[in-house]
Structures are given as C-alpha cells and as structure tokens.
C-alpha cells in the first residue's frame, strides 16, 4: 500500500531535488580532489590511518564497545550493568513517556560518536554514513522483534537551515539505513516552522520550542504503518516526541526512533569506561 502510493508520486519530476543532486555532485568532486592530496586519516581521532569505514582500528573498537552498552528502549539512556531494558521505561525517562514507541541508538554522545556526528552534520562523510547506517540497520532489526518498519522518515530540517548547511544530514543517514533494510524513504513529515536550535534549553523549553514545528502531507500513505523516524542525536527526545505525535495523528500504527547517539551526562556511562 505504502510503496504503491510512493511510486505514483515519484513519477513526477522533482526539479528541486534534481538541483540538489547537482550540488551534491559538485561537492563530491571537490572532496575527491582533497582526498588525492591528503591520505586518509581516521575521521574520529585524526591520529591514525583510516581503515574501511573511515575510522582507525582503535576508534573502530571503541565504537563497537559503545554499541554494545545496554540502554533504555524508551529514552535511550545508558543503563547500569544490573538494570534490564524495559519497554515501560527507566529511572531517567520523563514522567510522561515519549509518544514514540522505542528508540534504537548506537551509543552515548561521546568520542568517537560525537566526532562522527559532527563530521556527518557539517562535512557529510560518505564512508562514515555508510558505516553508521549499516550498524543502525542491524540494531533496528534486532530491536524491532515485532516486525520491521514499513517506511523510514528522516526528521526534517527547515529549508533555511538546509540551504545554509548544503545538505540534510538526517536524510543522508536515513538513506544509509534504508539501503541494507531495503525500505522506502518517505517525505510525508515536513517542517512547517523554523525553530531556534535546541542547545542549552531545558526539556520543557525544548518541548515549547518544537511545538507545531512539524506537519504531515499525504497522511493517507501512513495509515497503519510502522514508521522508523531517523535523527542524528536525541537529548530529551522532545523533537522526536513532537514528530511522533504528528505521525500518530496521521494514522501511523507505531513510531520507532533511530539515532546515532544519545546525549547524556558522562556519569550515565562512566562505570563502563576503561573496560
């Protein structure tokens, strides 16, 4: 049902997207020149040679150890070694649980994931994106034991911000997850209002800031669907919560959130450090 609707729409010519593609090509061509001049170093630490996927061997190992940390499937917070992940939340979850059903994350927002997110956001590293997408696709498959998602929707960026940055990193990441999962990417979720950055705001302020920022177009395609929402980082979950509420209103049956990292105080994962 979802795929059929998508196909019909994709038949139309989308000039805006074609122009974006041309811009992307020029950027890639530029990057290719840079890569010819400087050999590849690890994108996370810049200290050692990069292996496949853009990271050096130690950074790759640290990354995998972070991916294996236990976390809460509702807020994404790292759980202590003796706490079991529960779908009804953890001690760090907000009193009113988020309106998405679960979160899938790769690790805490700390090195090397913090550097990886920044590289994706501001420099669009294709190798890293492929690696993150592959890891997230595996994590999504393992977490969604009640069935895979029907469609992937990136958390949309306001066009003004996308124009300033040159690319929409959530969409690029969504594509990297969609490929191994063989899932379609939709564009039903749209940004209808520009919002100031959420950095430095409390949870309540973030909720207020993001309220009314999203809209859904062609809601009929989402009826009964399990949506996988994709973003780079979650902090309080306010953005995904607001988006999930809009998707539920549009008829989505279930909303899962996939992020690279959960931003949390270092104390949350300190006891695993040095293992």
Q: Contact residues for Zn ion (CB under 5 A)?
A: 42, 44-45, 56, 59, 72, 74-75, 77, 89-90, 92-93
As to burial, measured by CB atoms within 10 angstroms (0-12 exposed, 13-18 middle, 19+ buried), residue 149 is: buried
In the bound state with Zn ion, the residue whose beta carbon lies nearer, of 119 and 168, is 119
Taking the complex as a whole, the smallest distance from the CB of residue 105 to Zn ion amounts, in Å, to 11
CB of 78 to Zn ion, least distance (A): 10
The residue among 44 and 104 lying less far from Zn ion, judged by its C-beta, is 44
71: left (phi over 0), alpha (psi -120 to 50) or beta: beta
CB of 146 to Zn ion, least distance (A): 19
In angstroms, what is the minimal distance from the CB of 76 to Zn ion? Answer: 7
Kindly state the smallest distance separating residue 81's Cβ from Zn ion, in Å.
Answer: 16
CB of 98 to Zn ion, least distance (A): 9
Which residue, 55 or 174, has its beta carbon nearer to Zn ion? 55
Distance in angstroms between the alpha carbons of the first and the last residue of the chain: 47
d(C-alpha 208, C-alpha 210), whole Å: 6
CB of 89 to Zn ion, least distance (A): 5
Toward Zn ion, which CB reaches closer, 77 or 181?
77
How far CA 56 is from CA of 40, 42, 46, 119, 223, in Å, comes to 10, 5, 9, 15, 44
**Shortest distance, position 41 Cβ to Zn ion, whole Å:** 8
Q: Which of 187, 203, 205, 204 is nearest to 247 (CA)?
A: 187
Look at residues 232, 30, 250, 31 and name the one whose alpha carbon lies nearest to residue 116.
232
- Closer to Zn ion by Cβ: residue 70 or 89: 89
Of 6 and 263, nearer to Zn ion (C-beta) is 263
Compare residues 150 and 264 and give the one whose CB is closer to Zn ion.
264
Cα–Cα distances in Å, from 41 out to 96, 152, 196? 44, 32, 34
Task: CB nearer to Zn ion: give 93 or 246.
Answer: 93
């Amino acid at each position: 049902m979802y795929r059929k609707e998508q196909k019909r729409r994709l038949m139309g010519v989308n000039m805006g997207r074609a122009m974006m593609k041309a811009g992307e090509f020029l950027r890639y061509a530029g990057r290719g020149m840079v890569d010819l001049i400087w050999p590849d170093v690890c994108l996370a630490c810049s200290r050692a040679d990069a292996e496949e996927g853009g990271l050096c061997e130690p950074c790759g190992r640290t990354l995998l150890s972070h991916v294996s940390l236990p976390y809460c499937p509702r807020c994404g917070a790292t759980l202590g070694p003796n706490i079991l992940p529960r779908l009804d939340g953890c001690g760090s979850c907000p009193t009113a649980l988020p309106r998405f059903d679960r979160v899938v994350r790769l690790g805490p927002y700390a090195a090397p994931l913090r550097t990886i997110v920044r590289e994706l956001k501001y420099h669009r590293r294709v190798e890293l994106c492929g690696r993150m997408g592959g890891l997230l696709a595996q994590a999504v498959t393992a977490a969604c034991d009640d069935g895979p998602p029907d469609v992937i929707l990136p958390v949309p960026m306001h066009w003004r911000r996308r124009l300033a940055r040159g690319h929409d990193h959530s969409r690029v990441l969504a594509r990297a997850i969609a490929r191994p999962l063989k899932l379609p990417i939709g564009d039903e979720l749209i940004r209808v209002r520009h919002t100031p950055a959420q950095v430095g705001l409390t949870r309540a302020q973030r909720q207020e800031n993001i309220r009314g920022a999203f809209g859904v177009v062609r809601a009929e395609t989402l009826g009964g669907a399990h949506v996988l929402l994709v973003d780079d980082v979650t902090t309080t979950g306010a953005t995904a919560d607001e988006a999930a509420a809009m998707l539920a209103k549009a008829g989505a049956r279930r909303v899962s959130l996939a992020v690279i990292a959960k931003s949390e105080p270092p104390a949350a994962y300190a006891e695993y450090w040095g293992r």
